[in-house]
Amino acid sequence: MYGPNHPELAFALGGLAELLASQGKHRDALPAFERALLIAETVLAPDHPDVGLILEREAVTLKNLGRAGDAAAAQARADAIRAKHVPKRD
């Protein structure tokens, strides 16, 4: 049985948040993104690529809620995580 901080729960919450956001229910999606993010940061790592994906999707929801500053901050953090994990090209 999975506990309240299991990575699978973060994955499921992220999926729920995506579904809600795709239906235009951004206010309902945001708490699911936030919980998924908290779990992922705790059990994976704050700079894990999955955390970056959640942040990216959360940024879109924040933008749709009119929270441009918060959206930009989330996107900037997602970009930094991606840059850390993407191999540099020569």
Query: Which of 23, 29, 33, 24 shows the shortest CA–CA distance to 53?
Result: 33
pLDDT in tens, 51-73: 999 999 999 999 999 999 999 99
Q: What's the CA gap between 90 and 65, in Å, rounded?
A: 40
Q: What's the CA gap between 62 and 76, in Å, rounded?
A: 13
Q: 7-85 maps to which CATH number?
A: 1.25.40.10
pLDDT in tens, 23-45: 999 999 999 999 999 999 999 99
pLDDT at 86 over 90: no
pLDDT level of residue 12 (50, 70, 90 thresholds): very high
Query: What are the boundaries of each domain within the chain?
Result: 7-85
Cα radius of gyration rounded to whole Å, the chain: 13
The whole model's pTM is what? 0.89
pLDDT at position 5 is: 85
pLDDT at position 87 is: 76
Amino acid (one-letter) located at 81: I
